[in-house]
Amino acid sequence: MSIIICPYCKSSLYDSKEKTYICENNHSFDIAKQGYLNLLPVNQKKSKDPGDNQMMIAARRNFLELGFYDPLIESIKNLITEKLSFVTKDIIAFDAGCGEGYYSEKALNNLPGLKTEILGTDISKYAVKNAAKKYKNNFYFVSSIYNLPIKNTSTDLILSVFSPIMAEEFKRILSKQGYVIIVSPAPNHLREIAELIYDTFRPHTSNIVEKMTPLFKHDFTKKITFKIDLKSTEVLLSLLKMTPYYWSTGIERLENITNKNELSVTCDFNIDIFSQ
């Protein structure tokens, strides 16, 4: 049974089997060639092309596929299988702000003892297009996490990696015994890169627990820190391009980095687990 709903009238959406999804009030949504749906009503778009652009999405894919963040993937998977307990082994897992789909595929699929039906959304159509094209077993749609086209209490596991969060919507869609996993930058994330760009390094701070705890129980934080050795300018650039530094920093400062052909960089993540 589908857990997605019509963004206009909130009734269930069904696969009409004619390359569209349709609701009982005849709102219909075409399935794109790559297999995704666009469920973002035009009046909820704050710009013509909201979310990450094609270049940012390509940069994320190039970097993530090099495997440097795989220790993070392993930690998320271990937490899910060792620390969380679900009522049944068949669960619905949802990647909120999925980008090009790396985490929904790598962290939510093939979990020992669980069978996951995986859905993901992002406000960027480039993100969703790339995710749907590559990860055909998962179901991706364009929407905003501030107004999710998902049924109440239908989702067992929500994963959010470096994306905006909306506690009220997460609360509404989460099943009674479900969990939310939020990955965010811990204080020293990419410290060496920031030090080459800014005169003084300001550690990352987080307000995720404050945002979530009015509505959720904070079960625990797992901090994971490791170093990655980037051994070419090309690899450095692909990491840089998936950070805000690249898109917001002047060329002279960027040259501090792009002139290098190797750099050892700290990766520092918080994985926060919340439940009802």
Q: Residue 8's binding partner, choosing from Zn ion, ligand SAM, none, with beta-carbon cut-off 5 to 8 A by kind?
A: Zn ion
CB-CB contact of 100 with 62 (8 Å) = no
Among 45, 62, 44, 46, smallest CA distance to 54 is for 62
Q: Residue 257's binding partner, choosing from ligand SAM, Zn ion, none, with beta-carbon cut-off 5 to 8 A by kind?
A: none
Q: Which of 3, 4, 5, 23 binds Zn ion (CB under 5 A)?
A: 23
Give the integer Cα–Cα distance in Å for 106 and 263: 26
Q: Should residue 213 be labelled a site residue for Zn ion when binding is judged by CB under 5 A?
A: no
Q: Should residue 172 be labelled a site residue for Zn ion when binding is judged by CB under 5 A?
A: no
Binding residues for Zn ion, how many (CB under 5 A)? 6
Whichever of 200 and 211 has its CB closer to ligand SAM, that residue is 211
Cβ of residue 7: shortest distance to Zn ion, in angstroms? 8
Q: Residue 6's binding partner, choosing from ligand SAM, Zn ion, none, with beta-carbon cut-off 5 to 8 A by kind?
A: Zn ion
CB-CB contact of 274 with 212 (8 Å) = yes
Q: Should residue 39 be labelled a site residue for Zn ion when binding is judged by CB under 5 A?
A: no
Phi, psi dihedral angles at 82 (to 5 degrees)? -100, -30
Binding stretches for ligand SAM (CB under 6 A): 51-52, 60, 97-99, 102-103, 122-124, 127, 144-146, 161-164
Structure tokens at 57: 């999405």
Cβ of residue 142: shortest distance to ligand SAM, in angstroms? 9
Whichever of 164 and 203 has its CB closer to ligand SAM, that residue is 164
Phi, psi dihedral angles at 229 (to 5 degrees)? -105, 110
Structure tokens at 272: 């926060």
Measured from each CB, the residue nearest to Zn ion is 6
Q: Residue 122's binding partner, choosing from Zn ion, ligand SAM, none, with beta-carbon cut-off 5 to 8 A by kind?
A: ligand SAM
If one counts every other C-beta atom within 10 angstroms of the C-beta of residue 109, the result is 16
Cβ of residue 162: shortest distance to ligand SAM, in angstroms? 4
Single-letter amino acid code for the residue at 140: Y
| 39 Cα distance to chain centroid | 17
CB-CB contact of 217 with 274 (8 Å) = yes
| 116 Cα distance to chain centroid | 16
Binding residues for Zn ion, per CB under 5 A? 6, 8-9, 23, 25, 27
